[in-house]
Protein backbone atom coordinates (compact mmCIF):
# COMPACT_ATOMS: atom_id res chain seq x y z
CA UNK A 1 0.00 0.00 0.00
CA UNK A 2 1.31 3.45 -0.86
CA UNK A 3 1.59 6.20 1.71
CA UNK A 4 -1.27 7.99 -0.04
CA UNK A 5 -3.41 4.84 0.20
CA UNK A 6 -2.64 4.55 3.90
CA UNK A 7 -3.67 8.18 4.40
CA UNK A 8 -7.03 7.61 2.68
CA UNK A 9 -7.69 4.42 4.67
CA UNK A 10 -7.04 6.12 8.01
CA UNK A 11 -9.06 9.18 7.00
CA UNK A 12 -12.25 7.14 6.61
CA UNK A 13 -12.16 5.33 9.95
CA UNK A 14 -14.69 6.12 12.68
CA UNK A 15 -13.48 7.61 15.93
CA UNK A 16 -15.24 8.28 19.23
CA UNK A 17 -14.68 11.40 21.31
CA UNK A 18 -16.05 12.70 24.60
CA UNK A 19 -18.03 15.95 24.40
CA UNK A 20 -18.36 17.98 27.59
CA UNK A 21 -21.04 20.66 27.98
CA UNK A 22 -21.40 23.32 30.66
CA UNK A 23 -24.08 25.99 31.04
CA UNK A 24 -22.63 29.42 31.74
CA UNK A 25 -25.13 32.24 31.90
CA UNK A 26 -27.22 32.17 28.72
CA UNK A 27 -24.66 30.06 26.83
CA UNK A 28 -23.74 26.41 26.63
CA UNK A 29 -20.00 25.82 26.38
CA UNK A 30 -18.77 22.65 24.75
CA UNK A 31 -15.39 21.03 24.27
CA UNK A 32 -13.82 17.72 23.28
CA UNK A 33 -12.06 16.15 26.24
CA UNK A 34 -9.42 14.31 24.20
CA UNK A 35 -8.30 17.15 21.90
CA UNK A 36 -7.16 20.52 23.27
CA UNK A 37 -8.45 23.47 21.27
CA UNK A 38 -11.72 21.90 20.12
CA UNK A 39 -14.27 24.07 21.89
CA UNK A 40 -17.30 26.18 21.10
CA UNK A 41 -20.51 27.68 22.45
CA UNK A 42 -24.18 27.95 21.60
CA UNK A 43 -27.34 29.59 22.92
CA UNK A 44 -28.97 26.15 23.21
CA UNK A 45 -27.27 22.80 23.72
CA UNK A 46 -28.29 21.65 20.23
CA UNK A 47 -26.44 24.62 18.72
CA UNK A 48 -23.39 23.96 20.91
CA UNK A 49 -23.40 20.30 19.81
CA UNK A 50 -23.61 21.22 16.11
CA UNK A 51 -20.86 23.83 16.50
CA UNK A 52 -18.70 21.31 18.36
CA UNK A 53 -19.05 18.72 15.59
CA UNK A 54 -17.96 21.34 13.07
CA UNK A 55 -15.03 22.49 15.23
CA UNK A 56 -13.86 18.88 15.69
CA UNK A 57 -14.16 18.17 11.97
CA UNK A 58 -12.17 21.30 11.10
CA UNK A 59 -9.36 20.49 13.57
CA UNK A 60 -9.08 16.87 12.39
CA UNK A 61 -9.19 17.88 8.72
CA UNK A 62 -6.54 20.55 9.28
CA UNK A 63 -4.29 18.06 11.06
CA UNK A 64 -4.75 15.56 8.20
CA UNK A 65 -3.89 18.21 5.61
CA UNK A 66 -0.75 19.13 7.52
CA UNK A 67 0.31 15.47 7.65
CA UNK A 68 -0.53 14.97 3.98
CA UNK A 69 1.62 17.97 3.05
CA UNK A 70 4.50 16.63 5.14
CA UNK A 71 3.95 12.91 4.31
CA UNK A 72 7.33 12.54 2.65
CA UNK A 73 8.99 13.55 5.92
CA UNK A 74 7.05 11.09 8.10
CA UNK A 75 9.18 8.18 9.30
CA UNK A 76 6.37 5.96 10.60
CA UNK A 77 2.62 6.09 11.02
CA UNK A 78 0.46 3.59 12.87
CA UNK A 79 -2.89 3.18 14.57
CA UNK A 80 -2.97 2.23 18.21
CA UNK A 81 -5.56 1.78 20.92
CA UNK A 82 -5.39 2.61 24.59
CA UNK A 83 -7.74 1.88 27.47
CA UNK A 84 -8.30 4.61 30.00
Residue range 30-48: mean pLDDT, rounded: 96
| Mean per-residue pLDDT, 21-47 | 97
Q: What is the pTM of this model?
A: 0.71
CA dihedral 62, 68, 70, 75 (to 10 degrees): 120
Partners of residue 27 on adjacent β-strands: 24
| CA–CA separation, 49 and 29 (whole Å) | 9
Confidence class for position 34, pLDDT limits 50, 70, 90: very high
Tell me, letter by letter, the H, E, C secondary structure of 20-57: EEEEECCEEEEEECCCCCCEEEECCHHHHHHHHHHHHH
Amino acid sequence: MTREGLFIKIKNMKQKFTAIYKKRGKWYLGWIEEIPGVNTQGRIIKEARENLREALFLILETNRLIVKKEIGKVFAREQFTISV
